[in-house]
Amino acid sequence: MRLENSVNVFAIIPLAALLFGVIIQLIFARVLSRRAKGWLALLCGLAGFAAVLAMIPTIASGKVIEVTLIPWDTGLPLQYHIDGLSIVFALMATGIGSAILLYSVDYMAHELEGVTRFYALMLTFIAGLVNLVCSSNLLLSYLSWEVIGLCSYFLVGFWYKQEAAVNGARKVLIMTHIPGYALLIAILLLYSRSGTFLWTDPKLAASFTTGVFLLMLFAAMAKSVMFPLHTWIPEAMNAPTPVSALLHSACYVKAGVYLVARMYSLRTPGVQWPIAWNTLILIIGCITMLVGAFFALKQTDLKRLLAYSTISQLGYIITGLGLGTSFGVAAGLFYCLSHGLFKGTLFLCAGSVQQATGTRDMQKLGGLAKVMPHTARIWIVVAAAIIGVPFTNGFVAKWFLYNAALTSGKWLVVIVAWLVSTFTAFYMLKATVSVFYGDIPDWLKERKVKEAPSLMQIGMGILAVLCLVFGLAPQFLMQWVVAPAVQAMGFKWDLSFTWLGIQTTSASLSGAAGVAVVLLSMLLGWIVYRLMQKPGAGLSPSANVFTGGDPLPADDFVGAEDFADIAETSFQLVYTAANPDPVYLLLWSWIKKLAAATGRILQLLEQHPFLSTAILAVIIFIAVWLI
C-alpha cells in the first residue's frame, strides 16, 4: 500500500543523513578535530536511527512504504520497498551502529592517522546495509552488497602498515567477493526469465527456482560466515574494535541473514518452500553452530574467541530461519536482533580491555575487574546473554528457538543447539575468568591500567541495558518489530507473548513449565553454591573448582591456555576435518600456477605473431565448423 509523501520522507532520511555525514567528513577533514568528526558521525547515525523508529508504527500497522529515489527514471527504477523485514535490519544498522559510533568518539580520539577515512567508511558501511534492505531493485541491492564488502576491506585493513591487517583484509575481500558473483548471476537469471529487477513484481516469483535459490544461498553463506565459507572472519580481528563490532553485530554478517530471510518473500504467495530447501539450511545452520563453538573453545586471543563465537551464533540464526515456520523465523529474527546487542557489546568490551592493557591475549590478562569494574559488569551482563542466562535477551532467543524446533518436530536441532549452548557457557566462562578475575599480573600493575573512557562505557552500557530490557519484556520487540517482519516474509502471525517471553497462546502451558524448570534449576544451583561457601563444607580453601576440588600450588593457577590445551587435545580430529583453509590454499596455488602457465603461453605467442595468428585462425575455423 503506497503512503502519503509526508510519511515517505522518513524512508529517504537514513540514507541521506549517512551519506551527508560522509560528504561533510571529506569536505571539512582538515578543519574538524578528531572528536568533532566522531560527534558528526554520531549525529548522522542518530538521525537515521530516529527516521527508522518513526517508520515502525506505520509498518506495524500492516502497511509498507514505497519510494522511487529518482522519479524520472522509468527504464530501471531505483525503488525502495520498506516492510517489516527491512525495518529489522535497518534498526540494527542505525541503532547499534550509533552506539558503536558513540564508543568510537573516545576510542579514536588518540588515533593520529586516518580518522576521516575511518568515519567516512563507517557511515558508508551503515548506509550500505540500509540501502540493501530497503531496495526493491535487485541491481541496487547487489550494488549495496558490494559496497558493504568494499567498506569491510578498507576497514579491516585500516592499519594498513601492519602486515596482519593487510592479509586479513585481502582474505575478507577474496572469500566474500568471489561468492558475491553468485548473487549477481542469480539476479541476471531472474531478470532474463521475468523481465524485471524488482523483487516485488509477482512475475519474478515464478522465476525463483532451485538453481537461483542455491546461488543466493552460496552468496549468503560467505557473507554470514556459514561453514565452510567462514574462515575469513578470525583474520578480520586486526581491525579497530568499532569495526569488529559493526562487522560482527550490525552490518556485514547480517547482510547474508537478510538475503536468506528475503528469499521467503520471493516465493509465490501461498506456496511453501520445498522441504529440501529448508533441510539444507538447517544442516548448514547446525554444522556452522558446532564448528564455531568447537574452534572458540581453543582460542586464547579474546577477539578471535569472539569471532568464532560469531560463527556459532550465526548458526543459531540461520537454523531458526531454516525451520520454515512462523515461530521458527520469528525466533531467528529475534535471535538476530539479540545477537546484534550482546555480540556488539562483547567486542566493545574486548576493545576496551585491549586499549587499556595493550593486549588481547588472555594468557597475559587477569584481575581486570579490580581496575575496570564498569567494563567488567557490562561484560558479565552480555556474557550472560550470549550464554542464555534467564532475564536476558539471549535466554529468550534460545528459548524461542528451542520451542520452535520442538513444535516443528526437529528434535535433532534442539539437541545440537543445546550442546552448542553448553560449549558457549564453557568458553565464555573461560574468557570471563581469564580476563577479569584472579590476580592482576605484575606487568599490568606496572602499566597502571585504567577504566575505559566515559563515552566508551556509555556506548557499551546502552547495548547491555537493552539486553536486559528485551530479556524481561521481549513482547514489545516481538509485537512492533518481529511480527511485521514475519508477515513480510509471507507467514501468518498467530503468536502472542508476555513478560520473559512466555507464550500466551494455546501452547503456553509447556512454555510456562519450561520456564519454571529453568528458574528452579537456578535456585538449586544458588543453594548448592551457598552451601559450598560455608566453613566445613569439605572444600579446601586452596582448592580450585576447575581441578575438581584438588588444591593447586600457591604460585599456580588454571588459565586460558589450560582450557585451550584440553580442547586442542580432545577435539584435534574435529579441528583438522572442519578446517577448509588447506583446501582453499591448494586451489589458490593451482590457480596461480595456471595463471603463470597462461602468462608464459601468451608471452610466447606475442613473440611469434604469425604463429599465434595461424593458431587463432584454426580455432575459429573449428568453432565455426562445429556450430
What φ, ψ does residue 620 adopt, rounded to 5°? Answer: -65, -40
What does DSSP assign to residue 67? Answer: E
Calculate mean pLDDT across residues 478-499. Answer: 94
Sign of CA dihedral 522, 524, 525, 527: positive
- Using the structure block, give the residue that is written with the C-alpha cell 582460542: 299
Closest C-alpha among 556, 366, 330, 536 to residue 442: 366
- Which three cell numbers mark 202? 509477482
H/E stretch holding 82 reads strand 79-82
**pLDDT over threshold 70, residue 594:** yes
Q: Select, from the ranges 69-73, 158-162, 203-207, 541-545, the one with the highest average predicted confidence (pLDDT).
A: 158-162
**pLDDT over threshold 80, residue 547:** no
Q: How many CB atoms lie within 10 A of CB 582?
A: 9
User: CB of 425 within 8 A of CB of 317?
Assistant: no
**pLDDT over threshold 90, residue 579:** yes
Q: Which residues contact 130 (CB under 8 A, 6 or more apart)?
A: 14, 15, 18, 48, 90, 93, 94
CA distance 272 to 258: 19
Mean pLDDT, the chain, rounded, equals 90
Query: What residues pair up with 361 in beta bridges, in sequence order?
Result: 301
**pLDDT over threshold 60, residue 568:** yes
What are the CA-CA distances from residue 150 to residues 93, 395, 565 (Å)?
A: 17, 35, 37
Residues 75, 77, 81, CA angle at the centre, nearest 5°?
A: 155
**Per-residue b/e over 149-168, b at no fewer than 16 CB within 10 Å?**
bbbbbbbbbbbeeeeebeeb
The pLDDT tens digits for 525-537 are 677 667 656 554 4
- Which three cell numbers mark 54? 518513526
What φ, ψ does residue 49 adopt, rounded to 5°? Answer: -65, -45
What does DSSP assign to residue 417? Answer: H
**pLDDT over threshold 90, residue 562:** no
Residues 365, 366, 370, CA angle at the centre, nearest 5°?
A: 130
The pLDDT score that the predictor gives to residue 500 is 87
Q: Which residues contact 579 (CB under 8 A, 6 or more apart)?
A: 231
Instruction: Place 545 in a pLDDT band, splitting at 50, 70 and 90.
Output: very low
**pLDDT over threshold 50, residue 252:** yes
**Per-residue b/e over 353-366, b at no fewer than 16 CB within 10 Å?**
bbbbbebbebebbb
The pLDDT score that the predictor gives to residue 566 is 79
Query: What share of residues in the chain are helix, strand, coil (percent, to 5)?
Result: 75, 5, 25
Calculate mean pLDDT across residues 152-169. Answer: 94
- Using the structure block, give the residue that is written with the C-alpha cell 551482563: 381
**pLDDT over threshold 90, residue 123:** yes
The pLDDT score that the predictor gives to residue 541 is 43
**pLDDT over threshold 90, residue 513:** no
- Which three cell numbers mark 514? 519450561
- Is the full-model pTM beyond 0.85? yes
CA distance 452 to 402: 37
**pLDDT over threshold 60, residue 546:** no
DSSP assignment of 109-159 equals TT--S-HHHHHHHHHHHHHHHHHHHHB-BHHHHHHHHHHHHHHHHHHHTSS
- Which three cell numbers mark 287? 554444522
Judged by DSSP in three states, 208 sits in coil
What are the CA-CA distances from residue 427 to residues 286, 296, 300, 532, 587 (Å)?
A: 19, 7, 10, 24, 33
Instruction: Place 2 in a pLDDT band, splitting at 50, 70 and 90.
Output: very low
Instruction: Place 9 in a pLDDT band, splitting at 50, 70 and 90.
Output: confident
**pLDDT over threshold 80, residue 70:** no
- Using the structure block, give the residue that is written with the C-alpha cell 581491525: 239
N-to-C CA span, the chain: 51
Alpha-carbon dihedral 57, 58, 60, 64, rounded to 10 degrees: -160
Closest C-alpha among 282, 355, 296 to residue 325: 282
Q: Which residues contact 455 (CB under 8 A, 6 or more apart)?
A: 102, 103, 105, 106
What φ, ψ does residue 135 adopt, rounded to 5°? Answer: -75, 140
